[in-house]
């Protein structure tokens, strides 16, 4: 089969929130973009047979299975898409890579640096055989964020001096909200830090092209006991009145950072910002200007050009909907905005483009390991009264 005729048959593990988001993207991507590889939604996998069977029908998958180990050995699957809680990422992804399957794995890459390192090692070994891997940091695929990176990369901001990032949610403010898997360290790895902090760590390193080299961190768990859930997983779980259990992750994480290009940064990730549902904001200040992104206005950028005449200076709103803006050539006429779900379609577009042409997609597992190393340093710093903690470069580890 030639490159231009390539079909990539996808097997996805998980069918809840992320599984639904990924399914929508797999259904859509080839209807929007002309790519060197075509996705086929072959098999969806989940532990509960009745639920995964229903999900297969509802989400558009050809078949289903309850055994991910069987899934990765199937001849009708070329790609494994991992949409499970973090405690199973490493086992599934490594086994899939060793079986010769391309892998797309949701963020954060793993529940620990050790697991992430093992995943990188498997990815590097598989890469030599032409097997590709990518971590799913979908906010990179917001067109306004991609434009933000271009403005920084092309020098429009001059020397980057400040990075300011926050990811704010409030879905666990109620102390009666049950102890779902995202609040348990053995399943989630960490709390706000890994769930949403990982996104802004990746976003700022992506936009600036600079690596976080050191941090001073603070974490807090505001509600330390919660009602046990009536279901084992999912944000929709409700308490069943059978007692309480300990919350073993952080509710909020804040840290200061230095980046290797000389910039300094501030970061905040919390699920206790009452009134904030999914507020992601990143601002970069440079010697020649500034740029800011707010996900609640995801089709816009704020741009300040300090080189303009003083009488003309001020933050300008850029509506990122033109056909020559990143990703938007295949969508709607200018001014017709896009939404959250499009970020996953763009993610699958980039993955299929890379695999179809034999290139390595980004963010790679090495990129995701770098995020994991930052999170580990934040946790370590917080445990030592916010002591300054260095962050090792992931590439150096791989080279060693």
Model confidence over 222-241: pLDDT tens digits?
A: 999 999 987 544 455 566 66
pLDDT band at 242 (very low <50, low <70, confident <90, very high): confident
Question: Are 6-138 and 140-338+372-381 the same fold in CATH?
Answer: no
Residue 261 pLDDT exceeds 80: yes
Pairing of strands 160-168, 133-136: unpaired
Q: Using 50, 70 and 90 to split pLDDT, how confident is the model at 5?
A: low
Q: Given this model, what pLDDT does residue 72 score?
A: 98
- What pLDDT, in 10s, does the model give residues 44-57? 999 999 999 999 99
Closest to 46 (Cα-Cα) out of 66, 63, 60 = 66
Number of Cβ within 10 Å of residue 211's Cβ equals 17
What CATH number labels 6-138?
Answer: 3.40.50.720
Q: What pLDDT score does 241 carry?
A: 61
Backbone angles phi, psi at 182, to 5 degrees: -65, -10
pLDDT for residue 397: 72
CA-to-CA dists, residue 261 to 27, 203, 264, 286, angstroms: 40, 16, 9, 12
How confident is the model at residue 240, as a pLDDT? Answer: 63
Q: How confident is the model at residue 2 (pLDDT cuts 50, 70, 90)?
A: very low
Give, to the nearest 10 degrees, the angle between helix 17-32 and helix 49-59.
Answer: 30
Helix (H) or strand (E) holding 29: helix 17-32
Region 341-364: mean pLDDT is 98
Q: Domain limits of the chain?
A: 6-138, 140-338+372-381
Domain boundaries 140-338+372-381, CATH class: alpha beta
Q: Residue 336 — very low, low, confident or very high, per pLDDT cuts 50/70/90?
A: very high
The pTM of the full predicted model, rounded to 2 decimals, is: 0.95
CA atoms within 13 A on the CB side of 75: 0
CA distance 281 to 301: 11
- Residue 148 has what pLDDT? 98
Q: What is the 8-class DSSP label of residue 181? A: G
Measured distance CA(344)–CA(322) in Å, rounded? 19
Answer whether 86's CB lies under 8 Å from 187's CB.
yes
| Residue 149 burial (CB count, 10 A) | 18
Mean per-residue pLDDT of the chain: 95
Return the CA Rg of the chain. Answer: 21
Residue 396 has a pLDDT of 73
Strand ranges of the sheet holding 252-259, from the earlier edge strand across to the other edge:
316-319, 300-305, 289-294, 279-286, 160-168, 264-270, 252-259, 212-220, 389-390
pLDDT, position 400: 65
Write down the pLDDT at residue 55. Answer: 98
Q: pLDDT per residue over 303-323, tens digit each? A: 999 999 999 999 999 999 999
């Amino acid at each position: 089969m030639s490159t231009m005729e390539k079909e990539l048959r996808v097997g996805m593990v998980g069918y809840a929130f992320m599984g639904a988001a990924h399914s929508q993207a797999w259904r859509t991507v080839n209807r929007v973009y002309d790519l060197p590889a075509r996705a086929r939604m072959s098999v969806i996998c989940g532990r509960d047979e009745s639920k995964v069977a229903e999900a297969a029908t509802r989400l558009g998958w050809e078949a289903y299975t309850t055994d991910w180990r069987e899934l990765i050995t199937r001849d009708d699957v070329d790609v494994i898409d991992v949409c499970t809680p973090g405690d199973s990422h490493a086992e599934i992804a490594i086994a899939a890579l060793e079986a010769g399957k391309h892998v797309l794995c949701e963020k954060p890459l793993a529940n620990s640096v050790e697991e992430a390192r093992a995943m990188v090692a498997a990815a590097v070994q598989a890469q030599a055989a032409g097997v590709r891997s990518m971590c799913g940091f979908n906010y990179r695929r917001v067109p306004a964020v991609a434009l933000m990176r271009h403005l920084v990369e092309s020098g429009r901001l001059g020397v980057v001096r400040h990075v300011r990032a926050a990811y704010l949610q409030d879905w666990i403010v109620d102390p009666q909200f049950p102890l779902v898997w995202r609040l348990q360290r053995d399943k989630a790895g960490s709390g706000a830090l890994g769930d949403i902090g990982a996104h802004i760590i990746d976003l700022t390193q992506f936009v600036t092209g600079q690596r976080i080299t050191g941090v001073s961190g603070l974490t807090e768990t505001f509600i330390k006991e919660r009602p046990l859930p009536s279901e084992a997983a999912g944000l929709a779980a409700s308490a069943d009145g059978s007692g309480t259990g300990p919350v073993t992750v952080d509710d909020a994480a804040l840290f200061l950072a230095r980046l290797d290009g000389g910039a300094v940064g501030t970061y905040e990730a919390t699920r206790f910002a009452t009134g904030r549902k999914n507020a992601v904001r990143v601002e970069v200040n440079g010697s020649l200007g500034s740029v800011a992104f707010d996900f609640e206005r995801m089709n816009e950028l704020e741009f300040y050009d300090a080189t303009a005449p003083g009488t003309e200076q001020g933050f300008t709103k850029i509506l990122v909907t033109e056909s020559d803006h990143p990703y938007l050539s295949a969508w709607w006429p200018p001014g017709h905005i896009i939404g959250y779900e499009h970020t996953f379609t763009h993610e699958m577009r980039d993955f299929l483009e890379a695999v179809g042409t034999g290139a390595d997609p980004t963010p790679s597992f090495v990129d995701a390991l770098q995020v994991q190393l930052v999170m580990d340093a934040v946790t370590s710093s917080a445990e030592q009264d916010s002591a300054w903690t260095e962050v090792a470069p992931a590439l150096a580890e791989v080279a060693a």
